[in-house]
Amino acid sequence: WGARVGPNVCNCLVSSPFDVLSRSSPLAMSATMVNNSVLKCGNSTMARGRALATPSLPALRQAVNAKRMAHAGRVQTTMGATGKFVVGGNWKCNGTIDSVKQLVSALNAGSITADVEVICAPPMVHVGLVCGTLESPFQVAVQNCWDGPGGAFTGEVSAEMIADAGIPWVIIGHSERRTLCGETSELVAKKVKYAIDHGLNVMACIGETLAEREAGRTMEVCYSQLAPIAAALTENDWSHVVIAYEPVWAIGTGKVATPAQAQDVHAGVRGWLNNNVSPAVASATRIQYGGSVNAGNCEELASQPDIDGFLVGGASLNGPDFITICNAARMSVVA
Protein backbone atom coordinates (compact mmCIF):
# COMPACT_ATOMS: atom_id res chain seq x y z
CA TRP A 1 0.00 0.00 0.00
CA GLY A 2 2.35 2.71 -1.13
CA ALA A 3 1.29 3.28 -4.72
CA ARG A 4 -0.78 6.12 -6.07
CA VAL A 5 -4.09 5.01 -7.48
CA GLY A 6 -6.03 6.15 -10.50
CA PRO A 7 -5.70 9.15 -12.81
CA ASN A 8 -8.44 11.11 -11.04
CA VAL A 9 -7.26 10.64 -7.49
CA CYS A 10 -5.85 13.24 -5.12
CA ASN A 11 -2.08 13.38 -5.08
CA CYS A 12 -1.82 11.37 -1.86
CA LEU A 13 0.00 8.18 -0.98
CA VAL A 14 -2.23 5.25 -0.15
CA SER A 15 -1.29 4.04 3.31
CA SER A 16 -4.09 1.54 3.90
CA PRO A 17 -6.90 -0.25 2.08
CA PHE A 18 -9.36 2.29 3.47
CA ASP A 19 -7.35 5.06 1.81
CA VAL A 20 -8.30 3.64 -1.58
CA LEU A 21 -11.89 4.36 -0.68
CA SER A 22 -11.28 7.62 1.12
CA ARG A 23 -9.10 9.14 -1.58
CA SER A 24 -10.64 7.79 -4.77
CA SER A 25 -14.36 7.94 -4.08
CA PRO A 26 -16.26 11.18 -4.71
CA LEU A 27 -18.11 10.34 -1.50
CA ALA A 28 -15.02 10.03 0.65
CA MET A 29 -12.09 12.22 -0.21
CA SER A 30 -10.10 14.31 2.25
CA ALA A 31 -11.55 17.60 1.07
CA THR A 32 -10.78 21.14 2.06
CA MET A 33 -13.50 22.78 -0.01
CA VAL A 34 -16.65 21.52 -1.65
CA ASN A 35 -18.89 23.51 -3.96
CA ASN A 36 -20.99 22.66 -6.97
CA SER A 37 -18.05 22.04 -9.23
CA VAL A 38 -14.75 21.36 -7.51
CA LEU A 39 -13.28 19.13 -4.82
CA LYS A 40 -9.90 20.14 -3.41
CA CYS A 41 -7.49 17.88 -1.53
CA GLY A 42 -4.20 19.30 -0.35
CA ASN A 43 -2.56 20.97 -3.33
CA SER A 44 -4.60 19.02 -5.87
CA THR A 45 -8.02 19.89 -7.27
CA MET A 46 -10.36 17.94 -9.46
CA ALA A 47 -13.68 18.65 -11.07
CA ARG A 48 -16.64 16.83 -9.61
CA GLY A 49 -17.50 15.54 -13.10
CA ARG A 50 -14.13 13.76 -13.36
CA ALA A 51 -14.48 12.40 -9.84
CA LEU A 52 -17.78 10.79 -10.75
CA ALA A 53 -15.99 8.90 -13.52
CA THR A 54 -14.18 6.81 -10.91
CA PRO A 55 -15.47 3.31 -10.11
CA SER A 56 -18.72 3.03 -8.19
CA LEU A 57 -18.67 2.90 -4.41
CA PRO A 58 -19.69 -0.78 -4.27
CA ALA A 59 -16.96 -1.67 -6.78
CA LEU A 60 -14.37 0.25 -4.81
CA ARG A 61 -15.46 -1.42 -1.60
CA GLN A 62 -15.25 -4.85 -3.19
CA ALA A 63 -11.71 -4.13 -4.35
CA VAL A 64 -10.75 -2.69 -1.00
CA ASN A 65 -12.05 -5.71 0.88
CA ALA A 66 -10.25 -8.17 -1.38
CA LYS A 67 -6.95 -6.31 -1.19
CA ARG A 68 -7.26 -5.81 2.55
CA MET A 69 -7.52 -9.54 3.12
CA ALA A 70 -4.75 -10.30 0.63
CA HIS A 71 -2.27 -7.71 1.82
CA ALA A 72 -2.94 -7.38 5.53
CA GLY A 73 0.50 -7.24 7.10
CA ARG A 74 -0.59 -7.72 10.68
CA VAL A 75 -1.65 -11.17 11.83
CA GLN A 76 -2.51 -11.60 15.48
CA THR A 77 -1.96 -14.63 17.60
CA THR A 78 -5.00 -16.38 19.11
CA MET A 79 -8.06 -14.71 17.54
CA GLY A 80 -6.64 -11.23 16.91
CA ALA A 81 -7.62 -9.16 13.89
CA THR A 82 -5.84 -9.40 10.55
CA GLY A 83 -6.11 -5.67 9.75
CA LYS A 84 -3.67 -2.80 10.15
CA PHE A 85 -3.33 -1.32 13.64
CA VAL A 86 -5.66 1.71 13.78
CA VAL A 87 -5.40 4.74 16.06
CA GLY A 88 -8.12 7.36 16.35
CA GLY A 89 -7.72 10.72 18.05
CA ASN A 90 -10.98 12.08 19.47
CA TRP A 91 -10.47 15.78 20.11
CA LYS A 92 -13.97 16.02 21.61
CA CYS A 93 -15.20 19.56 22.39
CA ASN A 94 -11.76 21.14 22.56
CA GLY A 95 -9.75 23.65 20.61
CA THR A 96 -9.60 27.17 19.23
CA ILE A 97 -8.46 28.08 15.74
CA ASP A 98 -5.01 28.87 17.08
CA SER A 99 -4.68 25.72 19.19
CA VAL A 100 -5.92 23.52 16.34
CA LYS A 101 -3.36 25.07 13.98
CA GLN A 102 -0.63 24.36 16.53
CA LEU A 103 -1.79 20.77 16.99
CA VAL A 104 -1.95 20.12 13.25
CA SER A 105 1.52 21.62 12.85
CA ALA A 106 2.88 19.31 15.56
CA LEU A 107 1.26 16.27 13.96
CA ASN A 108 2.57 17.14 10.51
CA ALA A 109 6.06 17.59 11.97
CA GLY A 110 5.98 14.21 13.71
CA SER A 111 7.39 11.01 12.32
CA ILE A 112 5.09 8.01 12.17
CA THR A 113 7.35 5.04 11.53
CA ALA A 114 4.98 2.20 12.40
CA ASP A 115 2.58 0.47 10.03
CA VAL A 116 -0.55 2.16 11.34
CA GLU A 117 -3.76 3.79 10.15
CA VAL A 118 -4.38 7.13 11.87
CA ILE A 119 -7.62 9.10 12.07
CA CYS A 120 -8.18 12.45 13.80
CA ALA A 121 -11.65 13.63 14.84
CA PRO A 122 -11.75 17.39 15.45
CA PRO A 123 -14.85 19.27 16.58
CA MET A 124 -17.22 19.91 13.68
CA VAL A 125 -16.43 23.63 13.56
CA HIS A 126 -12.75 22.86 12.91
CA VAL A 127 -13.15 20.05 10.38
CA GLY A 128 -12.60 22.28 7.35
CA LEU A 129 -9.43 23.76 8.82
CA VAL A 130 -8.07 20.33 9.69
CA CYS A 131 -8.90 18.82 6.29
CA GLY A 132 -7.11 21.69 4.62
CA THR A 133 -3.91 21.47 6.64
CA LEU A 134 -3.45 17.96 8.10
CA GLU A 135 -1.18 15.89 5.88
CA SER A 136 -0.96 12.22 4.95
CA PRO A 137 -1.01 9.65 6.55
CA PHE A 138 -3.62 11.29 8.78
CA GLN A 139 -7.28 10.85 7.90
CA VAL A 140 -10.18 12.85 9.31
CA ALA A 141 -13.35 11.82 11.12
CA VAL A 142 -16.33 13.59 12.63
CA GLN A 143 -17.56 12.76 16.11
CA ASN A 144 -21.21 12.00 15.41
CA CYS A 145 -23.85 11.89 12.71
CA TRP A 146 -27.62 11.78 12.35
CA ASP A 147 -29.48 8.50 11.87
CA GLY A 148 -31.17 9.40 8.59
CA PRO A 149 -31.34 11.95 5.79
CA GLY A 150 -30.90 15.63 6.43
CA GLY A 151 -33.82 17.94 7.03
CA ALA A 152 -35.35 19.85 9.92
CA PHE A 153 -32.98 18.50 12.55
CA THR A 154 -31.33 21.50 14.17
CA GLY A 155 -27.79 20.85 15.32
CA GLU A 156 -27.41 17.55 13.48
CA VAL A 157 -25.30 16.55 10.46
CA SER A 158 -26.22 13.74 8.09
CA ALA A 159 -24.02 11.00 6.71
CA GLU A 160 -24.66 12.35 3.22
CA MET A 161 -23.29 15.75 4.24
CA ILE A 162 -20.23 14.19 5.83
CA ALA A 163 -19.50 12.08 2.76
CA ASP A 164 -20.10 15.01 0.43
CA ALA A 165 -17.55 17.04 2.41
CA GLY A 166 -15.01 14.28 1.82
CA ILE A 167 -14.81 12.97 5.40
CA PRO A 168 -14.30 9.18 5.36
CA TRP A 169 -14.84 8.33 9.05
CA VAL A 170 -17.32 8.94 11.86
CA ILE A 171 -17.31 8.04 15.56
CA ILE A 172 -20.68 6.68 16.70
CA GLY A 173 -21.95 5.61 20.11
CA HIS A 174 -19.32 7.21 22.32
CA SER A 175 -20.23 6.79 25.99
CA GLU A 176 -20.47 10.56 26.43
CA ARG A 177 -23.24 10.64 23.84
CA ARG A 178 -24.91 7.60 25.37
CA THR A 179 -24.90 9.11 28.87
CA LEU A 180 -25.17 12.85 28.20
CA CYS A 181 -27.39 12.76 25.11
CA GLY A 182 -29.43 9.65 25.90
CA GLU A 183 -28.40 7.64 22.85
CA THR A 184 -29.60 4.04 23.16
CA SER A 185 -27.86 1.02 21.69
CA GLU A 186 -30.70 0.74 19.18
CA LEU A 187 -30.18 4.33 18.02
CA VAL A 188 -26.44 3.77 17.82
CA ALA A 189 -27.04 0.72 15.63
CA LYS A 190 -29.34 2.71 13.35
CA LYS A 191 -26.69 5.42 13.01
CA VAL A 192 -23.97 2.88 12.25
CA LYS A 193 -26.02 1.23 9.51
CA TYR A 194 -27.06 4.52 7.93
CA ALA A 195 -23.51 5.86 7.94
CA ILE A 196 -22.13 2.74 6.28
CA ASP A 197 -24.90 2.72 3.68
CA HIS A 198 -23.91 6.26 2.73
CA GLY A 199 -20.20 5.70 2.25
CA LEU A 200 -18.66 6.19 5.69
CA ASN A 201 -16.41 4.04 7.85
CA VAL A 202 -17.42 3.86 11.50
CA MET A 203 -15.64 3.65 14.84
CA ALA A 204 -18.46 2.16 16.93
CA CYS A 205 -18.01 2.55 20.68
CA ILE A 206 -18.98 0.17 23.45
CA GLY A 207 -18.07 -0.08 27.13
CA GLU A 208 -19.25 -0.50 30.71
CA THR A 209 -19.51 1.84 33.68
CA LEU A 210 -17.61 1.30 36.91
CA ALA A 211 -20.77 0.04 38.63
CA GLU A 212 -21.35 -2.47 35.85
CA ARG A 213 -17.76 -3.70 36.05
CA GLU A 214 -17.90 -4.05 39.81
CA ALA A 215 -21.15 -6.01 39.43
CA GLY A 216 -19.40 -8.43 37.07
CA ARG A 217 -21.48 -7.29 34.09
CA THR A 218 -18.72 -6.05 31.76
CA MET A 219 -19.22 -8.62 29.02
CA GLU A 220 -22.99 -8.62 29.38
CA VAL A 221 -23.05 -4.86 28.79
CA CYS A 222 -20.64 -5.02 25.84
CA TYR A 223 -22.59 -7.83 24.21
CA SER A 224 -25.88 -5.96 24.72
CA GLN A 225 -24.40 -2.92 22.96
CA LEU A 226 -23.04 -5.04 20.11
CA ALA A 227 -26.22 -7.04 19.49
CA PRO A 228 -28.29 -4.24 17.88
CA ILE A 229 -25.35 -3.33 15.65
CA ALA A 230 -24.96 -6.94 14.54
CA ALA A 231 -28.69 -7.18 13.87
CA ALA A 232 -28.58 -4.07 11.68
CA LEU A 233 -25.51 -4.90 9.57
CA THR A 234 -24.88 -7.30 6.74
CA GLU A 235 -21.69 -9.33 6.85
CA ASN A 236 -20.16 -7.11 4.19
CA ASP A 237 -20.95 -4.00 6.25
CA TRP A 238 -18.48 -5.11 8.92
CA SER A 239 -15.53 -4.29 6.66
CA HIS A 240 -16.39 -0.62 7.38
CA VAL A 241 -16.55 -0.98 11.16
CA VAL A 242 -13.91 -0.65 13.85
CA ILE A 243 -15.13 -1.46 17.35
CA ALA A 244 -13.81 0.83 20.08
CA TYR A 245 -13.96 -0.70 23.56
CA GLU A 246 -13.88 2.17 26.04
CA PRO A 247 -14.55 1.34 29.68
CA VAL A 248 -16.50 4.38 30.82
CA TRP A 249 -14.75 4.43 34.18
CA ALA A 250 -11.38 4.91 32.44
CA ILE A 251 -12.32 7.74 30.06
CA GLY A 252 -10.65 10.98 31.10
CA THR A 253 -10.18 9.77 34.67
CA GLY A 254 -6.52 8.86 34.53
CA LYS A 255 -7.54 5.31 35.37
CA VAL A 256 -6.81 2.70 32.76
CA ALA A 257 -7.73 -0.93 32.40
CA THR A 258 -4.71 -3.14 32.91
CA PRO A 259 -3.42 -4.73 29.71
CA ALA A 260 -4.80 -8.05 30.94
CA GLN A 261 -8.23 -6.55 31.64
CA ALA A 262 -8.37 -4.90 28.23
CA GLN A 263 -7.18 -8.07 26.50
CA ASP A 264 -9.84 -10.15 28.24
CA VAL A 265 -12.64 -7.88 27.03
CA HIS A 266 -11.24 -7.64 23.51
CA ALA A 267 -10.96 -11.42 23.29
CA GLY A 268 -14.51 -11.73 24.59
CA VAL A 269 -15.81 -9.28 22.00
CA ARG A 270 -14.01 -11.16 19.24
CA GLY A 271 -15.45 -14.42 20.50
CA TRP A 272 -18.93 -12.89 20.47
CA LEU A 273 -18.45 -11.79 16.86
CA ASN A 274 -17.26 -15.31 16.00
CA ASN A 275 -20.35 -16.89 17.52
CA ASN A 276 -22.96 -14.30 16.55
CA VAL A 277 -21.80 -12.87 13.23
CA SER A 278 -19.17 -15.09 11.58
CA PRO A 279 -15.59 -16.33 12.04
CA ALA A 280 -14.55 -14.19 9.07
CA VAL A 281 -15.92 -11.01 10.65
CA ALA A 282 -14.34 -11.92 13.99
CA SER A 283 -10.98 -12.34 12.29
CA ALA A 284 -11.14 -9.16 10.21
CA THR A 285 -12.75 -6.69 12.61
CA ARG A 286 -10.32 -4.44 14.41
CA ILE A 287 -10.99 -3.67 18.08
CA GLN A 288 -9.55 -0.48 19.56
CA TYR A 289 -8.95 0.18 23.23
CA GLY A 290 -9.85 3.60 24.62
CA GLY A 291 -9.66 4.89 28.16
CA SER A 292 -6.78 7.11 29.30
CA VAL A 293 -4.35 5.73 26.72
CA ASN A 294 -1.20 7.81 26.90
CA ALA A 295 2.44 7.88 25.79
CA GLY A 296 3.47 5.93 28.87
CA ASN A 297 1.10 2.95 28.69
CA CYS A 298 0.50 2.60 24.96
CA GLU A 299 3.27 0.12 24.16
CA GLU A 300 2.24 -2.43 26.77
CA LEU A 301 -1.39 -2.16 25.69
CA ALA A 302 -0.45 -2.48 22.01
CA SER A 303 1.41 -5.71 22.71
CA GLN A 304 -1.80 -7.51 23.67
CA PRO A 305 -2.88 -9.92 20.94
CA ASP A 306 -6.49 -8.72 20.62
CA ILE A 307 -5.86 -4.98 20.91
CA ASP A 308 -5.85 -3.77 17.32
CA GLY A 309 -5.58 -0.06 17.96
CA PHE A 310 -6.59 2.82 20.21
CA LEU A 311 -9.23 5.50 20.39
CA VAL A 312 -7.43 8.28 22.23
CA GLY A 313 -9.02 11.23 24.00
CA GLY A 314 -6.98 13.74 25.99
CA ALA A 315 -3.58 12.53 24.80
CA SER A 316 -4.60 13.16 21.18
CA LEU A 317 -4.49 16.88 21.92
CA ASN A 318 -0.73 16.67 22.45
CA GLY A 319 1.00 16.22 19.11
CA PRO A 320 4.23 14.51 20.24
CA ASP A 321 2.35 12.23 22.64
CA PHE A 322 -0.11 11.22 19.96
CA ILE A 323 2.71 10.42 17.55
CA THR A 324 4.26 8.21 20.26
CA ILE A 325 0.92 6.42 20.68
CA CYS A 326 0.63 5.87 16.93
CA ASN A 327 4.14 4.41 16.81
CA ALA A 328 3.23 1.96 19.56
CA ALA A 329 1.73 -0.05 16.72
CA ARG A 330 5.17 -1.52 16.24
CA MET A 331 4.60 -3.46 19.47
CA SER A 332 1.60 -5.28 18.04
CA VAL A 333 1.92 -8.97 17.28
CA VAL A 334 3.26 -9.40 13.75
CA ALA A 335 3.54 -12.59 11.74
Catalytic residue numbers, as ranges: 174, 246
Per-residue DSSP letters for 166-192? T--EEEE--HHHHHHS---HHHHHHHH
Distance in angstroms (rounded) separating the CA atoms of residues 82 and 76: 6
For residue 87, the SS3 value is strand
Contact by Cβ (8 Å): 89, 323 = no
Distance in angstroms (rounded) separating the CA atoms of residues 131 and 135: 8
Distance in angstroms (rounded) separating the CA atoms of residues 89 and 71: 25
Q: Cα–Cα distances in Å, from 211 out to 247, 249, 263, 290, 291? A: 11, 9, 20, 18, 16
Distance in angstroms (rounded) separating the CA atoms of residues 49 and 112: 35
For residue 318, the SS3 value is coil
Contacts of 316 (CB under 8 A, 6+ apart): 88, 89, 90, 91, 120, 322, 325
Contact by Cβ (8 Å): 138, 326 = no
Distance between alpha carbon 29 and the CA centroid of its chain, in Å? 15
Contact by Cβ (8 Å): 226, 272 = yes
Query: What number of helices (H) and strands (E) belong to the chain?
Result: 14, 11
Distance in angstroms (rounded) separating the CA atoms of residues 202 and 192: 7
* Amino acid type, 120: C
